[in-house]
Chains A and B, each alone.
Chain A
């Protein structure tokens, strides 16, 4: 980076003043504040605690709702009974696609379910995006991901309403693993299933208002990559994965 960065264009005060002129108002907060912006962290904590209770109660319903909803959005949903079944799914998918190279993130879910060592013993060329493995070596990291036929990641949440998974930045998680390889496999823990979009944003808002970083991204992934840009005909797999698998872990 050469020059120190600064704000360019019209200074903020001048820009905002011209907006106030258009609106015929003076500087200041809205006469009526939006309710959601006046919530205190304690209120949000309370709401999240209530949400947790609801989610625990509805867990079985949520599992089946998510399966149905995700299948409808183009996910292949599996509910492996144990670690062996998880590994079987991964090698089945690799066989079908004739894949030799797989990249995976280094999220907690891999160690928690003891999937990490099993994956390494499957006989594929596995690249793990472990933190500090590639300090500032973008090219090596990228090339490994680009040459992978399959990318495997965890998920922070899954959303029953939309059939989505949600991914937040984590150490050991590249943004590219879930978008560059032709196949993406997402490992979803049952306790991370939420009902709907409101639940996701409530949890993120609590975290944010407790003073934590929002994180550089929050990605919803809902099925495979698709387009209908030529003659409104749907084609699966443009720039992102052609096939996506959701492994629901009990």
Chain B
């Protein structure tokens, strides 16, 4: 399993916010990726987009509700095409399957196309321990592999790095002269990795979708590394989560329309590869073996909970990250594990341990932008609330994460709001108390906690002269006067 640092969300996000280079990188997310997404939707019309979203949602609902049936169908059809399907209950089992295949086939060099599930498993370390040279081949993944970091975005894993940082990294790790021209850095990656593609024994890929009807694995890429990984080596292993299956090839068109547009605003990525089994006898080339590893690794926790089940509809487009005001400020690493952003705040606590990721469900203003952007209409804010509830009032007997003072505050607030006369009285008192702190219409600094924490980086608006109650009563009176 990849290192889990979900406990340090608060400290990690604080240092993220102070990092000027990261802020600069994140500022482009809203205009870049999200801007492109909006344009793509506008191009085909909101109505059409909504129609596709509803269709995709319906397909996902149906498939996840019948997941056993479609995985069985997939198994049959992969097997008929000459491939092998291996089921892994958790990360250890998945890693053991890859290890066994590697050893049986005497694999020395492996190239990898992007796979978030392999990040979950910490697969690269496992392979390295076996003495296999592993090369990430997606440019972003290659960069973070060289830097010994983890992805900070679902679609653009090296989003957090500036071109100067990448240039220094290439200079240090590849021993080439410093050159911050983005085009020449991409060329360097082409040259270095070209050789590896052709020498590799094993190509590892993830899967964007699995098609039950035909037993196919679908990968969507722009660079061409996915095609090379699944074409050049003698073995291809696809590793993916069990939720990726869809029933029919016909259903795939809906998802191919939604995913690239939601991720990068493209009508279709440069390459879509639909792989069905190993090379046939009549093919000129291609892998001799095809293995598909289907991983649970905690997904059944979400499957078993009807409130969280729809988290499994996610197609990992990253649209919810790009639009999220929290992600845009703290970046992907602060979330502490493989899946960042709003959907990550649901998936991560469920695939790891909720109590160790207790800040993630709270890392949201519940503004709902993620739900609006989601191509499969996943109700992310609702699930974040469900997780908050689980943390505060655990049903499994574990300890509530709310503190003593939070409980007192919540109880006092509840009883206060039940008594209008108390609210009125409180208002009068607070109006008096705020006087020494008001500057230019705002309360910008209060020395007493918990208000001191709030006002450290934010202003509180001062209480208005007239309360809502007073305005309401006055208006009512005025209206009665005019009507009468």
Q: Do chains A and B stick together as partners?
A: yes
Residues of A within 8 A of B (CB): 1-3, 5-12, 15-23, 25, 27-30, 32, 34, 36-37, 69, 73, 129, 131, 134, 138, 141-142, 146, 161-164, 169, 171-176, 179-180, 196-198, 200-202, 204-205, 208, 213-233, 235, 237-241
A30–B286 Cα distance when bound, in Å, is: 36
* Cβ of B104 under 8 Å from chain A: yes
* Cβ of B89 under 8 Å from chain A: yes
In the complex, the answer to whether A226 meets B223 with C-beta atoms within 8 Å is yes
A197–B250 Cα distance when bound, in Å, is: 9
In the complex, the answer to whether B225 meets A238 with C-beta atoms within 8 Å is yes
A157–B65 Cα distance when bound, in Å, is: 35
Given known pairs A2-B104, A217-B276, the reply for A169 and B283 (CB within 8 Å) is yes
* Cβ of B345 under 8 Å from chain A: no
Other than the given A163-B267, A235-B186, A239-B227, 5 more pairs (CB < 8 A) read: A8-B86, A175-B227, A216-B278, A218-B216, A227-B223
> Which residues from A are CB-within-8-Å of B267?
69, 73, 161-163, 222
Residue from the list A23, A32, A200, A201 in contact with B67, Cβ < 8 A: A23
Given known pairs A28-B69, A232-B159, the reply for A23 and B303 (CB within 8 Å) is yes
Residue from the list B89, B157, B249, B288 in contact with A204, Cβ < 8 A: B249
In the complex, the answer to whether B285 meets A201 with C-beta atoms within 8 Å is no
Spot the interface stretch: B137-145, B171-179, B423-431, B445-453. B137-145
Residue from the list A3, A16, A201, A241 in contact with B250, Cβ < 8 A: A201
In the complex, the answer to whether B248 meets A230 with C-beta atoms within 8 Å is no
Residues of B within 8 A of A (CB): 25, 28-29, 32-33, 59, 62, 65-69, 71-72, 75, 81, 84-89, 93-94, 96-97, 100-101, 104-106, 137-140, 143, 156-159, 161-163, 166, 182-183, 185-186, 189-190, 193-194, 197-198, 213-216, 222-225, 227-228, 230-232, 242, 247-253, 256-257, 264, 267-280, 282-286, 288-289, 293-294, 296, 300, 303-304
Residue from the list A12, A217, A226 in contact with B286, Cβ < 8 A: A217
Residue from the list B81, B249, B270, B279 in contact with A225, Cβ < 8 A: B270
In the complex, the answer to whether A34 meets B228 with C-beta atoms within 8 Å is no
Residue from the list B105, B161, B276, B294 in contact with A230, Cβ < 8 A: B161
Interface of A: prevailing SS: loop
A216–B231 Cα distance when bound, in Å, is: 10
In the complex, the answer to whether B280 meets A169 with C-beta atoms within 8 Å is yes
Given known pairs A12-B87, A15-B87, the reply for A219 and B227 (CB within 8 Å) is yes
Closest to B213 in A: A37
In the complex, the answer to whether B213 meets A9 with C-beta atoms within 8 Å is no
